[in-house]
Structure 1
Amino acid sequence: MKNSKSAVFRRQQELLSLLKREKSIDVDTAAQELNVSPTTVRRDLNVFEKQHLVERFHGGARLLEGTLKEEDLPTTMRGKAQIDYDQKQAIARYAAGLIEDGDTIFMNSSSTTLMLLDYLHGKRVIIVTNNSNAIGYPHDPLVSIILTGGEIYQRRQSLVGEFALHTLTKINADKCFIGVGGISVRGGITTSVLPETAINEMMMRRCQGACYVLAATSKVGREHNFLSAPIDNISTLITCTGADDKEIQNLRDHHVQVIEIPYTTHTSGTESPATKK
């Protein structure tokens, strides 16, 4: 298990955190701090160099300024701009309407997908998620929630690692709803948290029906550091009106259905958004 993909991602995330804190590191010190061999640190730094995150020098590396994007933390009305919150509510409301009675769905750790629970009423649905924030989140009693289990990635309260991946291999879902750090034709489906990429990828792989990306307009055309999947792994993007027109057209040209939802700031829970094709 030491060399599993999830263990590698976790180690690399720790190395990135060290780089972010220190800006410049030497291999031996980093190896000591992370309790791994210098060879392992050098191998990870080579990966980061190919991703244009670091500049190597003899015996170490320095973080290239501006390349490591900030993590997208769970959204609250107080912690994010109202416009972003309202877009996510409108997107979740529309997406919930796509879920049918009897569906089993995958829902990843994003704040937008969690909001699906606000709008799922009167349907018997099984939700499989790696979002530990789903514990205690108010929802219709007809909705059953299954947590993947796994290690908790503290800053986002997401469940990651080999245990979570193993749970997903035992389930086939009818639909999959993925929140993202960024989506573009060139960059694919990306996130700011490396260990979550394997979870997102497995959810898409184990989905037998449509895979939906839920993304506010600020995420469309944006690229984060870590790839969950290329663009052809999804069927539909649900966003709001106002996203970059060129990027929207690029996505459609690559056979991604794009649904654009009008939204209003300070939306009410009863508003029914229309779509623009």
Structure 2
Amino acid sequence: MKKTQSIVSKRREKILDYLRSNESINTNDLAEILQISPLTLRRDLQALDEEGLIIRYYGGAKLVSDTDNNNTTTDENLAVKETDINSILTQKKNVIAKYAADLVENGDTIFINSSSTALLMLKYLGDKRVYIVTNNGKSLNSTIGPNIELVLTGGQVYERKQSLVGEFATYILSKITANKCFLGVSGISADSGISTSVLQETLINHEMINRCSGPIYILSDSSKVGRHHNFSSGDINEISHLITDSDIDKNEISLLEEKGVKVITLDY
């Protein structure tokens, strides 16, 4: 029993640590980072909220500040804040995905991983004639153009992200050569390269990099730049481009470009 309590306590401290370095969190993203179920995370957030350490709102949470203690925050205000946060992130993802889709040419064979941003590319490809090879199970629910050939790798289903992983998936990728590769990440850093919060996806991401004959594009909103998550997927010298939003730290741009990565920043 004491061991279980210790595990829960450490996990909740990790949540607080993350909030200390991030103004707010999206619960789905944090569940992936901590590798726990969304239900477990909701329980942890509820407990921290009851202790007065955080404030929950729909889809996320933030640390309690002095301002919060001195002013009562209504549910309506919290809902507005959450809507604003999600709206901005959605705008960023769509701008990044659209720019990436414009880089795809007729006849290309491209890799797309399990990233939600990379998946958004599908709706911007229009009637281009493209082969898309992906381990993203959610692609089956996407609306795609009439000339797109969608190829799923197959493999084991990683339920939390509906991604396809394992030896079968990497074997299929080893038999394909792509012209361009579009990868979403949990983190990208000039020092540590690209990283993911899901161990099973590291081999998939790296196999896509290895089997691409052309540019490797990383699609990432600025909050993930300069960060490293649990598992490395590739070295920074394997990456050719980073497509991100204009909120990126200018120092991070310099660090990445020193390593040979072309950084493309987009207004949203």
Return the TM-score normalized by structure 2: 0.71
Q: Which residue does the alignment assign to 2:138?
A: 133
Q: How does 1:206-217 map to 2 (within 5 A)?
A: 206-217=211-222
Q: Which residue does the alignment assign to 1:154?
A: 159
Matched letter for residue 123 of structure 2: D
Equivalent position SS for 1:71: helix
Q: Which residue does the alignment assign to 1:175?
A: 180
Cα offset, 1:124, TM superposition = 0.5
Q: Which residue does the alignment assign to 2:32?
A: 71
CA distance in structure 2 between the aligned counterparts of 1:228 and 1:243, rounded to whole angstroms: 21
Between 1 and 2, higher relative CO (CA 8 Å, sep ≥ 6) is seen in 1
Please tell me whether residue 90 in structure 1 is matched to residue 95 in structure 2: yes
CA distance in structure 2 between the aligned counterparts of 1:70 and 1:168, rounded to whole angstroms: 28
Q: Which residue does the alignment assign to 1:239?
A: 244
Instruction: Pick from 196, 204, 221 the counterpart of residue 201 of structure 2.
Output: 196
CA distance in structure 1 between the aligned counterparts of 2:180 and 2:131, rounded to whole angstroms: 11
CA distance in structure 2 between the aligned counterparts of 1:254 and 1:246, rounded to whole angstroms: 13
- Alignment RMSD, CA only? 2.5
Asked if the contact 2:96/2:245 (under 8 Å) is kept, the reply is yes
Cα offset, 1:70, TM superposition = 3.9
Unaligned runs of 5+ in 2: 19-29, 38-58, 60-81
CA distance in structure 2 between the aligned counterparts of 1:23 and 1:162, rounded to whole angstroms: 35
Equivalent position SS for 2:32: coil
1:121-154 Cα offsets, whole Å, 9 max, x none, are 1211000000000113101010110000000100
Q: Which structure has the highest helix share of the two?
A: 2
1:78-122 Cα offsets, whole Å, 9 max, x none, are 8x7111111000000000010000000000000000000110012
1:197-249 Cα offsets, whole Å, 9 max, x none, are 10000000000000000000111111111100111111000001011111111
CA distance in structure 1 between the aligned counterparts of 2:135 and 2:255, rounded to whole angstroms: 31
Asked if the contact 1:211/1:235 (under 8 Å) is kept, the reply is yes
Please tell me whether residue 219 in structure 1 is matched to residue 224 in structure 2: yes
Q: Percent identity over the alignment?
A: 49
Return the TM-score normalized by structure 1: 0.69
Matched letter for residue 125 of structure 1: V
Asked if the contact 1:70/1:192 (under 8 Å) is kept, the reply is no
Equivalent position SS for 1:198: helix
Q: How many pairs does the alignment contain?
A: 205
Please tell me whether residue 248 in structure 1 is matched to residue 253 in structure 2: yes
CA distance in structure 2 between the aligned counterparts of 1:248 and 1:208, rounded to whole angstroms: 25
